[in-house]
Structure 1
Amino acid sequence: MPASSMTVRAVNDRIALDLLQGQGPLTAGQLKTLTGLSRPSVADLVERLQTAGLVRVVGEAGAERRGPNARLYGIVADRAHLAALDVRTGSVSVVVTDLVGAVLAEATLPVGHGAGPGPADPVAEAAALLERTVREASAARLHSVGVGAPGLIDPATGELRGTSGLPAWHRSLVGALQQRLPATVLVENETNLAALAEQRSGAARGLDTFVLLWLGHGVGAALVLEGKLRRGASGGAGEVGFPPVPGDGLP
């Protein structure tokens, strides 16, 4: 069944936004070349994105060029904000950015080691840290929160599964954030996220198939085959199983 015109427009808009985010401001002519779309289609998508408040004119392509063809279009960076949490066994780090990845605020806090009379609540500590960092960043439009954590992700539910050697509060964190925040909260295995980062802008850029080996308290791996991250039927593709690493730590 052929895709509807609405679906085609949505796909084209997403491709253009990905290009603008990854390569910076572009002219309509550059978008035409990179997307393979016709000039009228590019003009239509630029108009749609401008109307939606996602794209605006940010300059011209050169001092000698003038007019519509020289206009550079860029993403409206403060249209929404993103947050990322790096969850460790005893700490949480938070980064808040705009839509083009500029860091607006960041913080790190040991969790689960409260000095008060009662036991510390790592989930509450992590959620409070995120909320404070969002306020410091003046991120009024928090769109999405990405959580990177060790352990396996259940492909059916998208939730962290119980894993031997990891604290139980990891599994409760995502649900707590979903209840407290008006934003989409997603969780992914930390090694898989590292592989995606390397594929996008690191050592694996331009590679369709590679393995990233993760050395920490244990050993794990992420598999990217034919351009796609492979998690496996149970979410454990590439996971060696958290075997202990001899010695007190990595050199």
Structure 2
Amino acid sequence: MTVSPARPGRGASPRTARAINDRLALRLLQREGPLTAAQLKELTGMSRPSVADLVERLQKSGLIEVVGEAGEARRGPNARLYGIVADRAYVAGLDVRIESIGVEVADLLGRTAARAERPVPVGADLAGLVESGVELLLATAREAGAAALHTVACGAPGQVDPGSGRMRPSGALPAWHGALVDEVRRRLGVPVLLENEVNLAAVAEQRARSLAGAPEDETFVLLWIGGGVGAGVVLDGRLRRGVSGGAGEVGFLPVSATGGVPRADDCDDGYHGMVGSRAVCALGRSHGLAVDPAADAAAAAALVRSALACGADGFLDALAERIALGAAAVCAVLDPGVVVLAGEVGSAGGPELAARTAAAFARISPLRTDFHVSETAAPVLRGAVTVAMDAAQLDVFAPPA
């Protein structure tokens, strides 16, 4: 598909047009991989001299380099393949959970250079957790060969204030999450972006779906079912956070297995209490299944996989009905057309749980909605790296003067 180049018009200088075209070329190289000058000409619709000038500018700026040659028979300048200098800068993603801290360091193309995870000890003090998290980040960066990090993005459960970029206080979530982000900002002195962890999973899913051929302006809801319960809302290709950063806090939906209603500081009597890990484990026990007493996300995921293996239809159908109830509430308002199941339980259920959920959904909702399962590995980390990478590229790929 040809993308029209910038044309200097009224109020637009040639320098502005060059800057826009440089960004266009860098975006194409990011999405398509290495390209020849002829391929850049075809994709942008620019003239041959304009492409030659563009390539020279970007090479001099250290943004692109020759990475090979196209074809076996041709040699010379026309066969040169140009690619982004991906190790010009490194970014990092942090996945801060109640029970663990995960880190991924990647280059400017999002290629993983190093990844690590560390459990959070029960009863650990705040200062020790914060120091442990910073040390893990720095050690992973060293392992990746990153002398310095350009941008860090962090995902954590809870609401992030859109204005301040900080965690909103919550009695149900640990205080050290926000303290860790503050300490990373202080120690590294680089941009540190904070986002709700399910929102980051939705970002990763959107990028993966786009690369697989889905339109960039696709609408879908990622429904996270695991230790926590939440939703990432992507409408017309844009992640929606809401006025207070609380869009997708479906754990507080007033649907309950107990007949109660959630409180502002406790969602156990809301949708979370129906499909969170403890509820899933309790449901399994009520169907006579063996359940790990930990009743955490890992236990719930293991229970679902075991139920699938032994054909525990009663449990699986009951779980699907619970998931469908919350999905129906979300879809009645947003009508996204696509719901992606994710999280420890959603992923463990695979296509079979998605199909059972779709069948249960069809019985209670007239809306045409497809149910899929996320296949993105480590989606929160991937989303964090994607957000950090996009932010870094805006700075590093700033066109030369």
Does TM, scored on the shorter chain, surpass 0.5? yes
* Structure 1 equivalent of residue 391 of structure 2: none
| Counterpart mapping for 1:107-122 below 5 A | 107-113=116-122, 121-122=128-129
Any stretches of 5+ residues in structure 2 without a counterpart? 1-9, 253-266, 282-299, 305-401
Higher relative contact order (CA 8 A, sep 6+): 2
Corresponding residue to 1:221 among 206, 231, 234: 231
The amino acid of 2:116's aligned partner reads: A
The 3-state SS of whatever aligns with 1:121 is: helix
Q: Matches of 2:46 and 2:165 in 1, distance apart?
A: 35
The 3-state SS of whatever aligns with 2:234 is: strand
* Structure 2 equivalent of residue 232 of structure 1: 242
The amino acid of 2:59's aligned partner reads: Q
* Structure 1 equivalent of residue 73 of structure 2: 64
Distance 1:22 1:217, change over 3 A: same
Q: Matches of 2:16 and 2:179 in 1, distance apart?
A: 36
* Structure 2 equivalent of residue 136 of structure 1: 143
Distance 1:46 1:178, change over 3 A: same
Q: Matches of 1:233 and 1:119 in 2, distance apart?
A: 30
| Counterpart mapping for 1:2-81 below 5 A | 2-3=11-12, 5-81=14-90
Q: Deviations over 1:36-67 (max 9, x none)?
A: 44433333332222112111011111112233
| Counterpart mapping for 1:187-206 below 5 A | 187-202=194-209, 205-206=213-214
Q: Matches of 1:174 and 1:84 in 2, distance apart?
A: 12
Distance 1:119 1:96, change over 3 A: closer
The answer on whether the counterparts of 1:112 and 1:120 sit within 8 Å (CA) in structure 2 is no
Q: Report the Cα offset of residue 222 of structure 1.
A: 1.3
**CA-atom RMSD in angstroms:** 2.4
* Structure 2 equivalent of residue 173 of structure 1: 180
Q: Matches of 2:241 and 2:47 in 1, distance apart?
A: 37
The answer on whether the counterparts of 1:153 and 1:235 sit within 8 Å (CA) in structure 2 is yes
Q: Report the Cα offset of residue 16 of structure 1.
A: 2.3
Q: Deviations over 1:8-61 (max 9, x none)?
A: 444333332232222211112222333344433333332222112111011111
Distance 1:6 1:220, change over 3 A: farther
1:124 aligns with 2:131: yes
Q: Report which of the two has the higher share of strand.
A: 1
The amino acid of 1:68's aligned partner reads: P
* Structure 1 equivalent of residue 331 of structure 2: none
Q: Report the Cα offset of residue 121 of structure 1.
A: 2.2
Q: Report the Cα offset of residue 3 of structure 1.
A: 5.0
The amino acid of 1:191's aligned partner reads: V
Q: Report which of the two has the higher share of helix.
A: 2
The amino acid of 2:119's aligned partner reads: P
* Structure 1 equivalent of residue 7 of structure 2: none
Corresponding residue to 1:145 among 137, 140, 152: 152
Distance 1:152 1:55, change over 3 A: same
- Percent of pairs with identical residues: 59
Distance 1:191 1:6, change over 3 A: farther
Q: Number of residue pairs matched?
A: 249
Q: Deviations over 1:142-183 (max 9, x none)?
A: 211111222112111222222342211111222111110142
* Structure 1 equivalent of residue 329 of structure 2: none
Distance 1:149 1:31, change over 3 A: farther
Q: Which has the larger radius of gyration?
A: 2
Q: Matches of 1:188 and 1:205 in 2, distance apart?
A: 26
The answer on whether the counterparts of 2:126 and 2:176 sit within 8 Å (CA) in structure 1 is no
